[in-house]
Structure 1
Amino acid sequence: MSLDTLLDAVHQAIASATPLRIRGGDSKAFLGRPTPGTPLDTRGHRGIVSYDPTELVVSVRAGTPLRELNAALAEAGQMLPCEPPDFDGQATVGGMVAAGLAGPRRPWSGAVRDFVLGTRVITGTGKHLRFGGEVMKNVAGYDLSRLLAGSFGSLGLLTEVSLKVLPSPRCSASLTLDLGPAEALRRLTEWGQQALPISGACYHDEVLHLRLEGGEGSVAAARERLGCSAADAQFWVDLREQRLPFFRDPRPLWRLSLPFNVGLLELPGTQLLDWAGAQRWLKSDAEAGQIRAAASALGGHASCFSSGACDTPFQPLAPALLRYHQQLKAQLDPHGIFNPGRLYPEL
């Protein structure tokens, strides 16, 4: 699919006031509210535009499979540090940015938006615009490219993205330690204040899982200091891709963002702690209001990751914040054609 084809589809949608449901591999269709409109598949607009490993920057079209990008980076000994899920090869680069989902390494490396240097976007007025660029420091004023991360296609149609990449770690070790949740969180808090090469910390079912990454010397020293048992590195892939047995529980899946040192919540269901406790996965039949009240009381928020289980999957916005979102939507998508209602009914 050429860029002209995408532009024509947007122009026709504007002219006929027809909403568009932007999709890549549809690997994250379970996230957000149902979106009315004509499907617009971006997967035909694919390919790596430019990649110079010495510059640690890659530019790639939005319809490119994330797995294809990861393979190209791996050949050069590099990676996307935010470790986004590729959901069995279905995810695209545009969907990765639009959803903003990151993997177990996120607290130590940064979020998807932290690695977005620039984008090309078709706006709701039918213009193809470039924001940002291909260097580390190039933004004067408001950084619209990073704002698109997590917008779920509600602000425009991504056609190309430039990303910062980093060298892959020279050494990695996966470890486990059997202990209770309170002690696990205490140790994670203590270790977080020390110079340890931790790049993954997950707790579930009385087991603390750790991943160490870095130079051989630092990983070996940390492994000896922590005194944990060796484990299979496949755990981190299965966690990232939501393939652990925990995720097969038929109850609705909730993602809670909380302060990292908060203990297990008193909610019905089963909990898995990721990101050293800052991200909680919850399998529960509890009402949305009960789950969100528990998260809000601790200064956090909750999103439903099971399609159809909640009318408003994402945490409702405060009135003032909602007005900002509506104003931004009106500026970039004045006709309201891009993924209407995917994030919130008011958008």
Structure 2
Amino acid sequence: MQQVIIDQYKAVIHTASENKSPLQIRGGGTKHFYGNSSFGQGDIVLDTTTYHGIIDYEPTELVITACAGTRLTDLESLLEQHGQMLAFEPSHFGANATLGGCMATGLSGPRRAAAGAARDYVLGMRLLDGKGRDLQFGGRVMKNVAGYDVSRLMVGAMGTLGMLLEVSLKVLPKPMVEITLQMSMAEAAAIEKMNQWAGKPLPISATCYVEGMLFLRLSGAESAVRAAQAKLGGEELVGGMDFWQSVREQWHDFFQSDKFLWRLSIKSTTVPILLPGKQLLEWNGSLRWLLCDASVDQEIIRKIAKDAGGHATLFRSHEFRNAVFHPLDPVMMKIHRLLKKQFDPLKIFNPGRLYPEF
């Protein structure tokens, strides 16, 4: 049955290639707001959700392989039964979020600074390219991963390089104990503290600063967590798990706004950024969410992010968008174009979704 579905995908891709018709790759649609708004009304949709299910899972090997259309909730539920998790703590933004959408957007959650990004856990991928070729990269076990790391190129590519079919991921055991501490603190002091603590052997798995309060999540063995709690101080937050889920899924009150939401990825040690609007900090200060009016000059926001060693992405807005991601320098743009030419020479996959040029 799975091969029949893949053959159907191939037929659609071949027809689109012959007609040079755009294809919109879409799973659960929970992250459709993200990226450039460049799809036409007549675009053909390639629905990844028809290709779903767990292909291989060996808990003792800490590796799982699943179809791209598999719902994240189903995958995480299976891992939960074996006391394991996706360590990069992906955002869902809805019950229908899929593994393919998770990989295509490359978004990582609160645990990112401590555990690594989504791409760090990818072992292998299977995909269809713009010619309908069935390609496989990497492997299904850690010891077999060799050669060019093409699989990780697909993470964050927004479906512009190929249609993901299957993904193999490294998973990790869930922490034995997790607690959340909260403490009142000025922003500059919070940034300094987070970076100091990041350089010490403390079981801090997530940080968040918002509205004058610093939140720390401690994860690990109970003895280590309690020792760190005694050392760091602060008050234990009741419902800590709910708090981090509210940040990850953007249910927190901070995100309940129709203003523009910017995502600034910068050096963690950067001092407080003075921009109009409200901010929420994660990842020891290296991720800063900015809520502001549309009137705030995006070039100023991007320049501030670049000067701080990073980049700025317009994550959400209520307007048509065609320049969401930070502009690439000429060298990086050339590399992107060469990759696009190799994987999707006729530019039929999600055209304009990542950059207007392709």
- Whether TM-score is above 0.5 comes out as yes
Q: Which of the numbers 33, 36, 43 marks the counterpart of 2:36?
A: 33
User: How far is the alpha carbon of 1:309 from its aligned partner?
Assistant: 6.0
Whole-Å Cα distance in 2 between the matches of residues 189 and 341 of structure 1?
Answer: 37
Whole-Å Cα distance in 2 between the matches of residues 199 and 309 of structure 1?
Answer: 36
- Structure 1 residue matching 2:316: 3-state secondary structure: coil
2:334 pairs with 1:323: yes
Residues 1-347 of structure 1 mapped to structure 2, 5 A cutoff: 2-34=5-37, 35-36=39-40, 37-231=43-237, 232-233=239-240, 234-285=242-293, 286-307=296-317, 308=319, 310-347=321-358
Deviations 1:14-43 (A, max 9, x none): 122111010001111111112332111111
User: How far is the alpha carbon of 1:137 from its aligned partner?
Assistant: 3.7
- Structure 2 residue matching 1:43: 3-state secondary structure: helix
TM-score, structure 1 as length reference: 0.98
User: How far is the alpha carbon of 1:65 from its aligned partner?
Assistant: 0.6
* Aligned residue identity for 1:93: L
Whole-Å Cα distance in 2 between the matches of residues 193 and 333 of structure 1?
Answer: 43
TM-score, structure 2 as length reference: 0.95
Whole-Å Cα distance in 1 between the matches of residues 162 and 14 of structure 2?
Answer: 13
Kindly indicate whether the alpha-carbon contact (under 8 Å) linking 2:124 and 2:145 is maintained by their aligned counterparts in 1: no
Whole-Å Cα distance in 2 between the matches of residues 332 and 66 of structure 1?
Answer: 26
List alignment gaps of at least 5 residues for structure 2: none
Deviations 1:65-96 (A, max 9, x none): 11110000001100000000111312100000
Whole-Å Cα distance in 2 between the matches of residues 268 and 215 of structure 1?
Answer: 42
Deviations 1:207-250 (A, max 9, x none): 00000000111001001111110112111000000110110122
* Aligned residue identity for 1:14: S
Matched-pair identity in %: 46
Whole-Å Cα distance in 2 between the matches of residues 70 and 101 of structure 1?
Answer: 16
Whole-Å Cα distance in 2 between the matches of residues 198 and 147 of structure 1?
Answer: 29
Whole-Å Cα distance in 2 between the matches of residues 53 and 297 of structure 1?
Answer: 44
Kindly indicate whether the alpha-carbon contact (under 8 Å) linking 1:53 and 1:76 is maintained by their aligned counterparts in 2: yes
Whole-Å Cα distance in 2 between the matches of residues 209 and 310 of structure 1?
Answer: 33
* Aligned residue identity for 1:293: K
- Between 1:200-209 and 1:188-197, the stretch displaced more is 188-197
- Between 1:97-106 and 1:258-267, the stretch displaced more is 258-267
* Aligned residue identity for 1:260: S
Whole-Å Cα distance in 2 between the matches of residues 90 and 238 of structure 1?
Answer: 17
Whole-Å Cα distance in 2 between the matches of residues 206 and 112 of structure 1?
Answer: 29
User: How far is the alpha carbon of 1:141 from its aligned partner?
Assistant: 3.2
- Structure 2 residue matching 1:305: 3-state secondary structure: strand
- Structure 2 residue matching 1:59: 3-state secondary structure: strand
Whole-Å Cα distance in 2 between the matches of residues 325 and 49 of structure 1?
Answer: 31
Whole-Å Cα distance in 2 between the matches of residues 256 and 55 of structure 1?
Answer: 36
Kindly indicate whether the alpha-carbon contact (under 8 Å) linking 1:288 and 1:310 is maintained by their aligned counterparts in 2: no
User: How far is the alpha carbon of 1:139 from its aligned partner?
Assistant: 3.8
* Aligned residue identity for 2:309: G
**Structure 1 runs of 4+ off > 6 angstroms?**
none
